[in-house]
Structure 1
Amino acid sequence: MIYQQKGVMIRQTNYSESSRIITILTEEGGQVPLMVRGFNKPNSPFIVLRQGIKEFLFTYTRFKGMGTLNEVDEVQPFKKVNADFDIYSHASYVMELVIRALEEDVLHDSFYRLLIKSLKLMEEGSQPAGVVAFCAIKMLPYYGGELNVTECAVCGSKNNRNFFNYSFKYHSVICSACMNDETGARSVPVTNRVLYLAGYMKHVAVTNVDSIKISEENAGSLLKFVELIYDEYTGVYFKSRKLLQSY
């Protein structure tokens, strides 16, 4: 049977001197393994697959198990993402956030929408670190974590202007009025701006986000805060994060 689906290549491995097996994440959120014959040849019709992170229209034949790729056409080339090392590194982080949460035989179309939205945001000039933080916040529940930043764990206040600390003891924010040596144990200082952004990104619908225009400082602080949450609640460490920290 012949299929035609939008998708993003998420994995690849050499099969022979000239061919590779790739896995694509489809727009329906499924993972499809495909044999790509001639992938490694200089004049391969699939050379576009070797040119960075892109959204493609894949035409392939598949009955059971692995399919065979017949044609591939660019849908969104993400030229800016692939041309800038810093943006590309952040885009790779987003890719890893999505890919590592995938499950075999489970469709996650929301993952695909989040991935494409994140890449579009970077392509259109949104702060890369802010986009990674946005994606990480949306993916956190799939790694077993939860983000509580809108209500003081002690008194229940929802006045964001008084939030300056996140407590790993209470798993939530603590307002300035409730902060003391006891409640502040295992807490970290976080600006109320960062906490507001984190709460907003948690609740906003992916389809309603057209840009992430925040300062580089706030974006960096937000991402560091979200990474602390991942470290504490998920135990998952991403290779792309290490790459960003290396330069």
Structure 2
Amino acid sequence: MLYKLEGIVIRSMDYGEGNKIITLCTEHGGKVGILVRGAKKPKSRHGALAQPFTYGQYVFFRNTGLGTLNAGELIESHHGLREDIFKAAYASYACELLDRVLQDEDTGAFWFRQLKACLEALESGKDPQVIVNIYELKVLQAAGYAPQLEECISCGRPCAQDEPQEWISTALGGVLCRACKHFDPAAASVTPRTMKLLRLFARLDLTRLGNVDVSESTRDEIKGVMRRFMDAQLGMQLKSRNFLDQLDKYEFQ
């Protein structure tokens, strides 16, 4: 059966001497695996369509399982992401996270738009750490592990906006009020600015993201909170995140 879908390459792997197998996040067909014959050859007419982060239109045959590319059209190459090692690392993390967390039936128009917006924001030069943290919150929400940030995870009391500090329990999955803090002695204390931004990020749609100005200290605190949430709720070892950690160490040496 012949299919024609728009999609973004979230994974690309060599297959045989000259071929590649790509995984697409598509707008209307979930995740799709496609064999691209000859993609590794220098003069391949389909080589660009098999590059990571590429957004294109793909025409392929598939009965069951893996499809075979017949034709395609490049819509956005995102070569700017691949040419910058830091942008490429963040983009790879966004793609691997989606690929690992969401099942085929979970991906659709919403996730296609979120990933597309994420890659566009990264390529445009917006703060990659902020972009990825918002994206991580969207992934947690889609996977059913959204942190409770508006009210105490223990007693349900609405969080006061004028508290000088609040506590987040990644083990319990949300904020704790002062009276319930003892339920998790390991709960992390966070500043009001960090909590305000986390609540904003949870409500944001990446497709509507403007410029978000975040200080270095707040960005580091948000990164720490999100790292603990991702580890506690998903517990996945991602190669792309390990590479990001190595780049962080290199950047600040």
Are residue 166 (structure 1) and residue 168 (structure 2) matched? yes
Task: Give the residue type in structure 2 aligned to 1:139.
Answer: V
Residue 201 of structure 2 is matched in structure 1 by: 201
Work out whether residues 87 and 128 of structure 1, in 8 Å CA contact, stay in contact via their aligned partners in 2. Answer: yes
Residue 40 of structure 1 is matched in structure 2 by: 40
Q: Secondary structure at the match of 2:166?
A: strand
Residue 232 of structure 2 is matched in structure 1 by: 232
Are residue 125 (structure 1) and residue 146 (structure 2) matched? no
Higher mean C-alpha displacement, 165-174 vs 87-96: 165-174
Work out whether residues 26 and 108 of structure 2, in 8 Å CA contact, stay in contact via their aligned partners in 1. Answer: no
Q: What does the per-residue CA deviation read over 1:23-81, in whole Å, with 9 as the maximum and x for residues that have no partner?
A: 22211251222221111211111221454422112122334443221223221222432
Work out whether residues 121 and 212 of structure 1, in 8 Å CA contact, stay in contact via their aligned partners in 2. Answer: no
Residue 156 of structure 1 is matched in structure 2 by: 157
Are residue 98 (structure 1) and residue 72 (structure 2) matched? no
Instruction: Tell me the CA shift for residue 168 of structure 1.
Output: 4.6
Q: Secondary structure at the match of 2:150?
A: coil
Q: Hey, what's the Cα distance between the residues in 1 that align with 2:48 and 2:150?
A: 45
Q: Hey, what's the Cα distance between the residues in 1 that align with 2:188 and 2:125?
A: 31
Relative to structure 1, is the Cα distance of residues 77 and 19 closer, same or farther in structure 2, using a 3 angstrom cutoff?
closer
Work out whether residues 121 and 211 of structure 1, in 8 Å CA contact, stay in contact via their aligned partners in 2. Answer: no
Are residue 109 (structure 1) and residue 109 (structure 2) matched? yes
Work out whether residues 171 and 232 of structure 2, in 8 Å CA contact, stay in contact via their aligned partners in 1. Answer: no
Work out whether residues 12 and 22 of structure 2, in 8 Å CA contact, stay in contact via their aligned partners in 1. Answer: yes
In structure 2, stretches of 5+ residues that fail to align are 248-253
Work out whether residues 10 and 52 of structure 2, in 8 Å CA contact, stay in contact via their aligned partners in 1. Answer: no
Relative to structure 1, is the Cα distance of residues 82 and 14 closer, same or farther in structure 2, using a 3 angstrom cutoff?
closer
Work out whether residues 127 and 215 of structure 1, in 8 Å CA contact, stay in contact via their aligned partners in 2. Answer: no
Q: Hey, what's the Cα distance between the residues in 2 that align with 1:64 and 1:166?
A: 46
Residue 66 of structure 1 is matched in structure 2 by: 66
TM-score, normalisation: structure 2: 0.83
Aligned length: 245
Work out whether residues 2 and 62 of structure 2, in 8 Å CA contact, stay in contact via their aligned partners in 1. Answer: yes
Relative to structure 1, is the Cα distance of residues 231 and 23 closer, same or farther in structure 2, using a 3 angstrom cutoff?
closer
Q: Hey, what's the Cα distance between the residues in 1 that align with 2:180 and 2:23?
A: 50
Relative to structure 1, is the Cα distance of residues 29 and 119 closer, same or farther in structure 2, using a 3 angstrom cutoff?
farther
Q: Hey, what's the Cα distance between the residues in 2 that align with 1:211 and 1:69?
A: 38
Q: Hey, what's the Cα distance between the residues in 2 that align with 1:82 and 1:143?
A: 28
Instruction: Tell me the CA shift for residue 93 of structure 1.
Output: 1.2
* RMSD over aligned Cα atoms: 2.6
Q: Hey, what's the Cα distance between the residues in 2 that align with 1:49 and 1:221?
A: 38
Instruction: Tell me the CA shift for residue 135 of structure 1.
Output: 0.7
Q: Secondary structure at the match of 2:241?
A: helix
Higher mean C-alpha displacement, 232-241 vs 126-135: 232-241
Instruction: Tell me the CA shift for residue 179 of structure 1.
Output: 7.4
Relative to structure 1, is the Cα distance of residues 237 and 64 closer, same or farther in structure 2, using a 3 angstrom cutoff?
closer
Instruction: Tell me the CA shift for residue 7 of structure 1.
Output: 0.6
Instruction: Tell me the CA shift for residue 144 of structure 1.
Output: 4.3
Q: Hey, what's the Cα distance between the residues in 1 that align with 2:88 and 2:116?
A: 14
Residue 8 of structure 1 is matched in structure 2 by: 8
What is the percentage of aligned positions where both structures have the same residue?
27
In structure 1, stretches of 5+ residues that fail to align are none
Task: Give the residue type in structure 1 aligned to 2:128.
Answer: P
Q: What does the per-residue CA deviation read over 1:121-162, in whole Å, with 9 as the maximum and x for residues that have no partner?
A: 112222100111001001113444231122245582432331
Relative to structure 1, is the Cα distance of residues 44 and 158 closer, same or farther in structure 2, using a 3 angstrom cutoff?
same
Higher mean C-alpha displacement, 126-135 vs 216-225: 216-225
Relative to structure 1, is the Cα distance of residues 51 and 19 closer, same or farther in structure 2, using a 3 angstrom cutoff?
closer
Residue 137 of structure 2 is matched in structure 1 by: 137
